[in-house]
Amino acid sequence: MAFGQSLIDWASLDAAGRKAALARPAQRSAGDVTEVVRTILEDVQTRGGAAVNDWCVKLDGAPPRRIAITPETVSKARGDLPPADVRALRMAADNIRVFHQATRPEDTAFIETTPGVRSKLAWRPIGAAGLYVPGGTAPLFSSLMMLAIPAGVAGVRERVAVTPPDKSGGVHPAMILAAAEAGLDAIWLIGGAQAIAALTFGAELDDGVIPACDKLFGPGNAYVAEAKKQAAALPGGPAVDMPAGPSELMVIVDRDSAPEIAAADLLSQAEHDADAQVLLVSTSRATIDYILSEVEAQLEGLPREAIARASLAEARAILVRDLDTACEVANLYGPEHLAIQVEYADELVDQIQAAGAIFVGRWAAETLGDYAAGPSHVLPTDGGARTLGGVTTASFMTSMSVQVVTEAGARALAPIAARLARMEGLEAHARAADLRSEG
């Protein structure tokens, strides 16, 4: 069987068993990952660009390189791709832009809570965003668009995109076109934890300067995820978007589901990375058996079969009593991607409390969301969906409250504020309020 464990009967498990059934792959938090990342970050913090260069040569097999997005490089990249590929990329970029423009936060109207006391929220873009684009085993130019386009819509002044070089030390032409569609002026070929370190501390390199960024974005392997975590924990370190590590997909099915579609979706995520995890949850044992047979049949001959098989070693097939229980399992796991492929799938959406993105019904393929539907596919993993959402335009912005008070408003509100301040033992606070209420 392709999946790493035999069928799991949810009803037969105690609390510890259920926790184990939904555990993420252990390699994501392995001690060697933590120590390697700490070493790289400390080295770059100490030696700057020289350390970045050394780690790139050691781990990427090439020194850091800046690819300028010029009319010449864009024209060459366009010529290296079939016209249909270029059109597909442009259509996807347009959809991403349309969605994020429509969902960009705007300043609220003033709200008067007390006569003469008005407040609102004002939104501003962050100054510099570091955008990590995976590319070690596949050039994920879609992730570049899913990050850089929302950042551009938000108005971020400085967008710094980094991605690992390919085996020849270069970059896929689609990555250059994606950068052009997003309006970037360059891409840096740097991968792994050393890229996160460069974005965290800044680095002077032979091809130019990478600035220290205010916030880091993007998915990656275990080393990238750990580097973001450690960078955010540094005093004065950058903010990060979310835990965005190896991909996850949970598919909920019933007797009416299409096994070939469910199997294809599971494999679409398993081929991402050996650390990716897929889960199948169903009310029907027969359906589970059928889908697992389909997974095995479709797995044969895939170009990334070995990666998919490694991922499937951490896969789970879970039998539940009913769809309400399936939703409970989904909320406990908090998947990055959740596909609901059951009859009347839309009726289950209200029961889902924790998922990065929900794909409703058999036609809503997770792959459509990965590339062209519009919302960003950069989503929280490792259970982060229980408290965090995916990347949006708002992710690249901050909100500030703006308070405007008239003299009459101050006279009305100051006595209340002063009394509350004295209840907390903060006399200076109270006196600052008193001064606003004195005639």
CATH superfamily, domain at 8-25+246-374: Nitrogenase molybdenum iron protein domain (3.40.50.1980)
Cα–Cα distance measured from residue 360 to residue 27, given in angstroms and rounded to the nearest whole number: 31
CA 376 to chain centre: 8
Residue-level pLDDT at 362: 94
Cα–Cα distance measured from residue 439 to residue 437, given in angstroms and rounded to the nearest whole number: 6
263's tokens = 């199997």
37's tokens = 């990342």
pLDDT of 136 strictly over 70: no
**Segments making up each domain of the chain, as ranges:** 8-25+246-374, 31-105+125-244, 406-437
Residue-level pLDDT at 274: 87
Q: Average pLDDT, stretch 212-232?
A: 93
Q: Average pLDDT, stretch 5-33?
A: 86
Residue-level pLDDT at 237: 96
Asked if 232 and 240 count as a contact pair (C-beta separation under 8 A), the reply is: yes
Residue-level pLDDT at 25: 83
Sign of the CA dihedral with 377 first, then 383, 385, and 388 last: negative
Confidence of residue 260 (pLDDT cuts 50, 70, 90): very high
Cα–Cα distance measured from residue 157 to residue 49, given in angstroms and rounded to the nearest whole number: 23
Sign of the CA dihedral with 137 first, then 140, 143, and 149 last: positive
182's tokens = 């997003």
Residue 284 Cα distances to 4, 99, 342, 423, angstroms:
19, 37, 11, 60
Task: Judge whether 8-25+246-374 and 31-105+125-244 match in fold.
Answer: yes
Percent of the residues in the chain that have a pLDDT greater than 70, as a whole number: 97
Asked if 249 and 269 count as a contact pair (C-beta separation under 8 A), the reply is: yes
pLDDT of 28 strictly over 70: no
Residue-level pLDDT at 220: 82
HEC profile of the chain? CCCCCCCEEHHHCCHHHHHHHCCCCHHHHCHHHHHHHHHHHHHHHHHCHHHHHHHHHHHHCCCCEEEECCHHHHHHHHHCCCHHHHHHHHHHHHHHHHHHHHCCCCCCCCEEEECCEEEEEEEEECCEEEEECCCCCCCCHHHHHHHHHHHHHHCCCEEEEEECCCCCCCCCHHHHHHHHHHCCCEEEECCHHHHHHHHHHCEEECCEEECCCCEEECCCCHHHHHHHHHHHHCCCCCEECCCCCCCEEEEEECCCCCHHHHHHHHHHHHCCCCCCEEEEEECCHHHHHHHHHHHHHHHCCCCCHHHHHHHHCCCEEEECCCHHHHHHHHHHHCCCEEEEECCCHHHHHHHCCCCCEEEECCCCCHHHHHHCCCCCCCCCCCCHHHCCCCCCHHHHEEEEEEEEECHHHHHHHHHHHHHHHHHCCCHHHHHHHHHHHCC
Cα–Cα distance measured from residue 286 to residue 304, given in angstroms and rounded to the nearest whole number: 28
Q: What is the pLDDT of residues 302-323, one digit of tens each?
A: 999 999 999 999 899 999 999 9
In single-letter form, the type of residue at position 167 comes to K
Cα–Cα distance measured from residue 182 to residue 375, given in angstroms and rounded to the nearest whole number: 15
- Which range, of 25-34, 130-139, 298-307, averages the lowest pLDDT? 25-34
Radius of gyration over every alpha carbon of the chain, rounded to an integer in angstroms: 25
Asked if 40 and 193 count as a contact pair (C-beta separation under 8 A), the reply is: yes
Residue 426 Cα distances to 94, 256, 417, 423, 432, angstroms:
54, 64, 11, 8, 10
Catalytically active residues are 336-337
Residue-level pLDDT at 137: 66
Confidence of residue 336 (pLDDT cuts 50, 70, 90): very high
Cα–Cα distance measured from residue 298 to residue 93, given in angstroms and rounded to the nearest whole number: 30
Residue-level pLDDT at 201: 98
Q: Which CATH number among 2.60.40.10, 3.40.50.150, 3.40.50.1980, 3.20.20.70 corresponds to the domain 31-105+125-244?
A: 3.40.50.1980
Q: What is the pLDDT of residues 158-214, one digit of tens each?
A: 999 999 999 888 999 999 999 999 999 999 999 999 999 999 999 999 999 999 999
Q: Which residue matches tokens 């169903």?
A: 282
Asked if 275 and 28 count as a contact pair (C-beta separation under 8 A), the reply is: yes
Q: Average pLDDT, stretch 79-108?
A: 98
